[in-house]
Structure 1
Amino acid sequence: MGSNHVDRLSNMPDEVLSEILSLMPTKFAVRTSILSKRWRYNWTLVTNIDIDDSHPYHDLKIFSTFVDRVLGLCKTTEIRLFRLRCMQIWVQKSSVSKWIDEAVRLNVSELDIHVMLLELPLSLFTCKTLTKLKIESNKYWDIMDWQTPFNLPCVKTLDVAVFCNPSRNAFKLIRGCPVLESLSLDIAACSAPEEECRFDIPTLKQLKLTTFKGCNFKKVVLNVPNLDDLFIAGPWHSLFVMEDLSSLVSVTYSLSVMDHLLVELLKGIIGAKSLSFRTTNYMKDLPGVPLLNLPNLKHLELTDDGYKFEQIIIFKFLESCSELEHLSIKTAQVRWGNEPESCWFKPHIVPACMLKTLRTMKYENCKWRKDDIKFLEYMLRNAEVLKTLTVTCKSELLEEQMRLCAKLLKCPRASRYCEIHFVGKSFESASS
């Protein structure tokens, strides 16, 4: 390019180079040190430190030495993010604790730790600069000093995943965050039938509770007056008591709970405007359980997990949502066990929302069974203000798909403005 070529990238201000290098994983930022003398120490100005134990690290000693040097040579006085992922190498708890301590010394704002073994350093207990904290440990993690309480005055986002015993570690951490706005708590397993789990967090706006193997608290109490987004998933076997959810807007339930516990869960969300609900094999008696009225609900999403998705459940929800405007139904792509030939249920009375408010409906993974056709025909015949029906088809046979689509298109519609859209593998899109 000629002898007068100017290396404009290298001539950029240190602040700009720091921003560029901070956008990549730290191991790549460090590699730029071999480019020239000008670049030898540019990487030490990064404001994000993102380290994982994947290639090219071959053993624990090499990996630990690299992390020590990165934190030791870092020249910035403030780092926005320190992310440490050790999923292949079993790093000692003492090393992880030392690295977190170094990040606190560098006035870290966001801390993201995913390791096999974990012990938190004392310096983290009172970190004043931390605003976002994510901790995930594949095994049991301890707090170093049981007598020292957490005091994290600026933490607004907390994401914690623990193997067991959340009352001994996770809840102690939660109580130390007085301005918490977003909380995600994932508990692998917990058997504590004598314990009451309370969430008294007036500042909280988002709450996500998940469990994999099951939680068996005596009671879970939610006193979160400013919460607007609630997500609960997994096999919970605890009684949920909704003391105050007066600001709730959006709710997602992907639960394995008994029917009487579900009713208690629904009691606390009567003011919600959006609900996403996944059926499970635990809810065998749900068709016979009276659901509460949800007068403010505008959006409803029902998902089948592959066990038994009776249409009576759909209509039970429709009857409970008198002001519903948008309905989405997702049937299972794979179904467990043998299906009955027909489980079609025709309601005695058309739900009120179908007569005055229901405007859009999606029916995903339609397999064109008799029940599917009857249900869709019923909706078209009775939804008086429906504007759009979208059907996602699962049949692989083009001729069968087109024949059944034609049948649905010929069905009388209560709403003269209703359009039907079809989406499937055999054709990109069709509508009428």
Structure 2
Amino acid sequence: MAFSESVETNDDDLISSMPAIVTDKILKYLPIAIAAKASILSRTWRHTWLSCHYLAFDGAFWDGFCKLDDSIDWHKGSSIITNVLCHHNGSIQSILLELRPDNADLLVDKNVHLSRWLSLLSRTCPKKITLINWAGEWSNLVIMPSYIFHCTELMKLKLQCFVLNAPPFDFKGFPRLKRLELLFMKFNNGIDMLWSFIAKCPCLVFLRLENCLGMDTLDVDAPRLEKLIIRGTFDSLRLKKVPRLIDVSLGSTKAEMSDTETAVATINSLASSYELQCLAIEGNLSKFLAAGGINKSLPVAFNHLDKLCLTDLILTDTDVFCFTLGMVQSCPFIKDLEISIISTTDGVQDKYEYHIDDYKLGRLHKVKITGITGTNAELKLIEYVLAISVVLENLFFKCEKLDAVSELRVLRQLIRLPRASTKAQFVCLGE
């Protein structure tokens, strides 16, 4: 009875007495709409959500504004975003903001609202900003307001589907920015503006550029960069002053590449790096490198590389097949190898040969090969990998849309291949 009375006379309930750091952690993982509703749980929580350090106006947020015809009420959603940012009474560590829906008629309105939101955000010194515009077409890109350059305390920045103008003349850079991701962007003042912008981010360790307009010439200069991802339609690729690179992914979606010599020189320079541990070559870049002369092992080996990924390989192209063997031979100490294959009926199927000699991979434990259809080139490649991998444990594989009979035929061919490692076993990957 005494215990009951003590509870009733206690003004502080369990929720109200939570430390601020615990409350902040809870609100961090709640959708913004639920965080607002949670304010009724306690008197002290009534305005706590308005000082939440982490805001996410994402797909779950916009789903709450679906009309009967499944369209999204942009005006209602954007009004709520404005109210939240206007009444927010604390610092914002991280914000995720999606601009929905995909509607060309809203371009001006989106730009006006985004300008106001960034103006409000710039006063809170955010550390992380993610802005995603649902564009659908290049003509629906929203112009990025210059207020983004006022957020000088940023450590992480991700922009998708925007037009980026040159920074103001007094912009001195993002001195603390460590991670930069630019996807489906257009640079109004040319690609040189991007490189001058990156040069003003002295602490940058992660850079991701994907499918941006005007990425014809890539000239990366970032002394502290550790991870680099570049995918797009570039003609030239040059890496300079990137001595700390650990992880590199390069992929081309272009049908032709005019400057293959520079790309080959870049791969050769990466081979001499003492830091590089993971290398991925994607898309048509393998074809361009093969045409540029990398159809055998490189003059300088990747002696420090742990993982090699070669994706979207057209092995029926003899040059690409030789390039693949050459890259594997140039990575004598890899532990992990991933290869994905694109099936095609082009090319001659009986000119794929290799010579093992005394070359062995003494550290390769794991291999993953996907897109297998059973061509002679594929089987020759797998046979080669099995023959030189003396400590291989698992070869994970996946066939590419084969009927049951064809897949069984491929399986029978695979298990008959000789293996240098007595521990090597095939593992079929599911859907």
Deviation at 1:351, TM superposition (A): 5.3
Gaps of 5+ in 1: 238-254, 427-432
Tell me the residue number matched to 1:346: 353
Deviation at 1:80, TM superposition (A): 0.9
Tell me the residue number matched to 2:280: 276
Other structure's SS at 1:85 match: strand
TM-superposition CA deviations, 1:369-422 (whole Å, max 9, x none): 444445444554x4372433525242756676556545654555444x242223
**Is the CA contact 1:125–1:150 (under 8 Å) kept in the aligned structure 2?**
no
Deviation at 1:177, TM superposition (A): 2.0
Identify the range of structure 1 (124-133 vs 173-182) with the bigger mean alpha-carbon deviation.
124-133
Matches within 5 A, 1:152-191: 152-161=174-183, 162-165=185-188, 166-167=190-191, 169-190=193-214
Question: Which letter does structure 2 place at the counterpart of 1:148?
Answer: D
Aligned equivalents of 2:155, 2:398: Cα separation in 1? 45
**Is the CA contact 2:206–2:228 (under 8 Å) kept in the aligned structure 1?**
yes
Identify the range of structure 1 (152-161 vs 322-331) with the bigger mean alpha-carbon deviation.
322-331
Other structure's SS at 1:188 match: coil
Tell me the residue number matched to 1:142: 165
Question: Which letter does structure 1 place at the counterpart of 2:62?
Answer: S
Tell me the residue number matched to 1:267: 268
Deviation at 1:86, TM superposition (A): 0.4
Aligned equivalents of 1:66, 1:319: Cα separation in 2? 58
Identify the range of structure 1 (103-112 vs 164-173) with the bigger mean alpha-carbon deviation.
164-173
Matches within 5 A, 1:379-394: 379-380=385-386, 382-383=387-388, 385-394=390-399
- Is residue 84 of structure 2 the alignment partner of residue 70 of structure 1? yes
Per the alignment, do residues 150 and 288 of structure 1 end up closer, same or farther by CA in structure 2, a change over 3 Å counting? closer
**Is the CA contact 1:126–1:151 (under 8 Å) kept in the aligned structure 2?**
no
Identity %: 20
Aligned equivalents of 1:147, 1:345: Cα separation in 2? 57
- Is residue 323 of structure 2 the alignment partner of residue 301 of structure 1? no
Aligned CA RMSD, in angstroms, stands at 3.9
Question: Which letter does structure 2 place at the counterpart of 1:268?
Answer: S
**Is the CA contact 1:85–1:113 (under 8 Å) kept in the aligned structure 2?**
yes
Other structure's SS at 2:159 match: strand
**Is the CA contact 2:32–2:57 (under 8 Å) kept in the aligned structure 1?**
yes
Aligned equivalents of 1:424, 1:187: Cα separation in 2? 30
Aligned equivalents of 1:281, 1:154: Cα separation in 2? 33
Aligned equivalents of 1:274, 1:354: Cα separation in 2? 20
TM-superposition CA deviations, 1:180-208 (whole Å, max 9, x none): 2222233522177xxx7543322222222
- Quick one: which of 17, 24, 32 aligns to 2:30? 24
Higher strand share: 1
Deviation at 1:126, TM superposition (A): 4.9
Aligned equivalents of 1:411, 1:199: Cα separation in 2? 43
- Is residue 249 of structure 2 the alignment partner of residue 231 of structure 1? yes
Deviation at 1:70, TM superposition (A): 0.8
Per the alignment, do residues 401 and 7 of structure 1 end up closer, same or farther by CA in structure 2, a change over 3 Å counting? same
Higher helix share: 2
Matches within 5 A, 1:403-418: 405=411, 408-415=414-421, 417-418=422-423
- Is residue 336 of structure 2 the alignment partner of residue 314 of structure 1? no
Question: Which letter does structure 1 place at the counterpart of 2:63?
Answer: H
- Is residue 116 of structure 2 the alignment partner of residue 98 of structure 1? yes
Aligned equivalents of 1:424, 1:377: Cα separation in 2? 19
Per the alignment, do residues 262 and 133 of structure 1 end up closer, same or farther by CA in structure 2, a change over 3 Å counting? closer
- Quick one: which of 113, 116, 121 aligns to 2:131? 113
**Is the CA contact 1:158–1:182 (under 8 Å) kept in the aligned structure 2?**
yes
Other structure's SS at 1:350 match: coil
Per the alignment, do residues 30 and 373 of structure 1 end up closer, same or farther by CA in structure 2, a change over 3 Å counting? same
Deviation at 1:84, TM superposition (A): 1.7
Question: Which letter does structure 1 place at the counterpart of 2:308?
Answer: L
Tell me the residue number matched to 2:427: 422
Tell me the residue number matched to 1:9: 15
Tell me the residue number matched to 1:56: 64
- Is residue 208 of structure 2 the alignment partner of residue 202 of structure 1? no
Deviation at 1:9, TM superposition (A): 3.4
**Is the CA contact 1:321–1:353 (under 8 Å) kept in the aligned structure 2?**
no
**Is the CA contact 1:331–1:366 (under 8 Å) kept in the aligned structure 2?**
yes
Per the alignment, do residues 358 and 351 of structure 1 end up closer, same or farther by CA in structure 2, a change over 3 Å counting? farther
Per the alignment, do residues 13 and 312 of structure 1 end up closer, same or farther by CA in structure 2, a change over 3 Å counting? closer
Gaps of 5+ in 2: 66-71, 134-140
Per the alignment, do residues 75 and 270 of structure 1 end up closer, same or farther by CA in structure 2, a change over 3 Å counting? same
Deviation at 1:283, TM superposition (A): 2.3
Other structure's SS at 2:76 match: helix
Per the alignment, do residues 9 and 308 of structure 1 end up closer, same or farther by CA in structure 2, a change over 3 Å counting? farther
Identify the range of structure 1 (157-166 vs 63-72) with the bigger mean alpha-carbon deviation.
157-166
Aligned equivalents of 1:14, 1:393: Cα separation in 2? 50
Aligned equivalents of 2:45, 2:97: Cα separation in 1? 25
Aligned equivalents of 1:410, 1:216: Cα separation in 2? 43
Other structure's SS at 1:189 match: coil
TM-superposition CA deviations, 1:122-161 (whole Å, max 9, x none): 5x5354432222223x342335x74222332222222234
Tell me the residue number matched to 1:241: none
Per the alignment, do residues 350 and 103 of structure 1 end up closer, same or farther by CA in structure 2, a change over 3 Å counting? same
